[in-house]
A and B are shown apart, each in its own frame.
Chain A
Amino acid sequence: MLSISNLHAQIADDGREILKGLSLDVKPGEVHAIMGPNGAGKSTLAYILAGKEDYEVTDGSVTLDGEDLLDLSADQRAAKGLFLAFQYPVEIPGVANMTFLKTALNAQRKARGEPEILTPDFMRLVREKSALLKINPDMLKRAVNVGFSGGEKKRNDILQMAVLQPKICILDETDSGLDIDALRIVAEGVNALRSPDRSFVIITHYQRLLDYIKPDVVHVLSDGRIAKTGGPELALELEAKGYADYQTAAA
């Protein structure tokens, strides 16, 4: 499904290389966890996959179901089924959450040549998904993420994911800033979306999130490339021993 091969990327402004030959293959239905020390390039990987323009890919390829992603803009990638849950979801004052969800869903449908969703169908979809994520109807009326707590912002991002129904979901440190209850709700929301044709890449510092969302494969990202790949037991090993074995001079 998602195939990353020998990816090299740098910060566009200063030419600092962050990814140094990263390769990764995610098959349909799989959940991959990417762990690693600070500064390893985890968030950069998430942003590059989603199409943020602050980075420049100098070598390698990223494909989704065989289609090249790197030439596409962020919105085109979203329409192809890629979703990034942000470490820090952005506040959009003046835009009602509900309006935003509908605008986003219809923009993606339009890009795929599908008709706009009918309002009753949309309402039903949002009601169902927000109940699952314990999202208060009041949050849907408020401006996107404005005045939301950290946990509400993360749940709101997962709600967007549930409504947009992407093929590949990248979660960038979704666990950061969450208390244990919020973490459980977010994890349940993600688990409810697991399906044989939807894959996940979960970027996290800590093993804790992986207690709730069971990964199939765990990678250690260090100094811009995958340093080690293993099963769920690798996460436990990291939790016990830390990242000392993978620490780079730079970090």
Chain B
Amino acid sequence: MTNVTRIKTDAEQTLEQQILSPSLAGNPLRAAGRDVFVGKGLPHRRVEEYKYTDLKALMRKANPVAGETTPQALASVVETLRATARAGEIRLVILDGLFRADLSDLAVLPAAVTVTSLRDVLAKGAADTMAVLAGPAIATDDPVISLNAALVSDGVVIEVAAGAMIADALHLVHIVTSATPVSLHTRSAVILGAGASLGLIESYQSTVPGHQRTDVLNVVVGDGARFEHAVAKSDASAIDLATITAVIGADAKLQSFALVTAGDVTRRQHFVRMEGNHSVLSLKGANLLNGRMHADTTLVVEHDSLHCESRELYRSVIDGEAHGVFQGKVIVRPGAQKTDGKMASNALLLSESAEMHNKPELEIYADDVACGHGATCGEIDEGPIFYLMSRGLPRPQAEALLIQSFVGEVVDSVGDVALGDHAEALRDGFTSAIEAWLAQRGAS
């Protein structure tokens, strides 16, 4: 090994300055993250997990960290929140990187749910909560999680008491009011007691494009608990690096769905550890990409228990010069017998220059398991197109219908686990977002 000095990019230098800023001194997550980041910098194509999403190349400059919300911006947010309140959901607001109890619907929060800002949790430093916030071991080496730890400003920790079935979904609303591109680093956690049930929605709002964001959500699903998570990623950010980690107990269920329709560079990564027997995991998503968008879905699922089922299904629709990436790794630890795993990534390429990279991986150390994966890439089938056109649909409409049906399959299961009465409205919202993406495609 030769000793070489790493050349730091403009973005890396700015990020280091931000990490070393005294304003973050009170953050106990920072030390570990800082050391990893200062040592390794942004991950690049020679780091296996980032081969197709070379952040060193994709992130030329680091934006300044989000500043305080102006009174005018705050007034406008208050107004918007008032106008968009909906029955069946309880909103928790993260505004310009800070959890805002005053803007959140805490008045209607069920007694079994405790919501605390990350800053308060870090200040107390309770060992068990800190362990949750650090995430499972399979995720600790990830450079983006380290960067997030080093720079995290705030977030929210949601705890649901054992046995509590929460009917209304919680809605984590990420709002950025800055009129110029900024960076945001937030981390949240969901801790479900045994037999509890919760649905969590996440959405993003910003007034200008070009923000850079890292966000980590650490989830602990207790024995017999159910957690469902659904995200609509529709704001035009420059860089959006979202991580979800989860540790799942016995007889539990976790389902997560994400729809990505905007953002220059998006990476959504999941690190899930199946720790208890007889649990079910379902990860699904749809990425609709155009222009020069780049979207990466990276999954690491670790089976370390008996009789668990994992299902991963992702659909990508790629137009223009956009790039899609799917990396899915399923690890079956020794003794994790009767594991039933199925993973699939299917991509539809709509243009000559659209690209999709599929990298499914299975690492199996147990001998009595059923695991499989499939990855496909293709153009829209001309057979169905001709059939639809022969019935009177013009080509763009025929294509749109087939694309909708292609992604519709993953949207259909939203609400199957724990989103309650809100699921239908949510599915309708996803469908509208897909229609809007298709309309924009038709117009261009």
A11-19, A104-112, A201-209, A216-224: which lies at the interface: A104-112
Q: Name B's A-contacting residues (CB within 8 A).
A: 382-384, 386-395, 397-398, 401-402, 404-406, 408-409
**Which residue on A lies nearest to B409, using beta carbons?**
A94
Tell me whether A73 and B392 are in contact (CB under 8 A).
Answer: no
Q: Name A's B-contacting residues (CB within 8 A).
A: 50-53, 73-75, 77-79, 83-84, 86, 89-95, 100, 103-105, 107-108, 111, 143, 160, 164
Residue from the set A50, A53, A95, A108 with the largest chain B CB neighbour count within 10 Å: A95
A52–B392 Cα distance when bound, in Å, is 13
Tell me whether A90 and B405 are in contact (CB under 8 A).
Answer: no
Residues in B whose Cβ lies below 8 Å from that of A53: 382, 386
Given contacts A51-B389, A107-B392, contact A90 B383 (CB under 8 A): yes
Tell me whether A79 and B390 are in contact (CB under 8 A).
Answer: no
Given contacts A94-B408, A95-B405, contact A86 B387 (CB under 8 A): yes
Tell me whether B397 and A94 are in contact (CB under 8 A).
Answer: no
Would you call the interface of chain B mostly helix, strand, loop, or mixed? helix
Given contacts A92-B384, A94-B404, contact A111 B392 (CB under 8 A): yes
**Which residue on A lies nearest to B383, using beta carbons?**
A90
Tell me whether A75 and B389 are in contact (CB under 8 A).
Answer: yes
Tell me whether B390 and A78 are in contact (CB under 8 A).
Answer: yes
Residues in A whose Cβ lies below 8 Å from that of B384: 90-92
Q: How far is the CB of A155 from chain B (nearest CB, A)?
A: 16
Q: Among A91, A92, A143, A164, point to the contact of B392 (Cβ < 8 A).
A: A164
Given contacts A52-B386, A74-B386, contact A95 B401 (CB under 8 A): yes
Tell me whether B389 and A78 are in contact (CB under 8 A).
Answer: yes
19 A-B pairs within 8 Å (CB atoms) are namely A73-B395, A74-B386, A75-B391, A75-B394, A78-B390, A78-B391, A86-B387, A89-B387, A92-B387, A92-B405, A94-B405, A94-B408, A103-B393, A103-B397, A104-B393, A107-B392, A107-B393, A107-B394, A164-B392
Q: How far is the CB of B56 from chain A (nearest CB, A)?
A: 39
Residues in B whose Cβ lies below 8 Å from that of A107: 391-394, 397
Tell me whether A92 and B389 are in contact (CB under 8 A).
Answer: no
Residues in A whose Cβ lies below 8 Å from that of B390: 50-51, 74-75, 77-78, 83-84, 86
Tell me whether B395 and A75 are in contact (CB under 8 A).
Answer: yes
A75–B393 Cα distance when bound, in Å, is 5
Residues in B whose Cβ lies below 8 Å from that of A143: 405
Residues in B whose Cβ lies below 8 Å from that of A83: 390
**Which residue on B lies nearest to A112, using beta carbons?**
B392
Q: Among A86, A94, A105, A164, point to the contact of B406 (Cβ < 8 A).
A: A94
Q: How far is the CB of A173 from chain B (nearest CB, A)?
A: 16
Q: Among A90, A94, A105, A164, point to the contact of B387 (Cβ < 8 A).
A: A90
Tell me whether B392 and A104 are in contact (CB under 8 A).
Answer: yes
Q: How far is the CB of A229 from chain B (nearest CB, A)?
A: 27
Tell me whether B401 and A78 are in contact (CB under 8 A).
Answer: no
Q: How far is the CB of A94 from chain B (nearest CB, A)?
A: 3
A77–B392 Cα distance when bound, in Å, is 8
A100–B391 Cα distance when bound, in Å, is 9
**Which residue on A lies nearest to B403, using beta carbons?**
A94
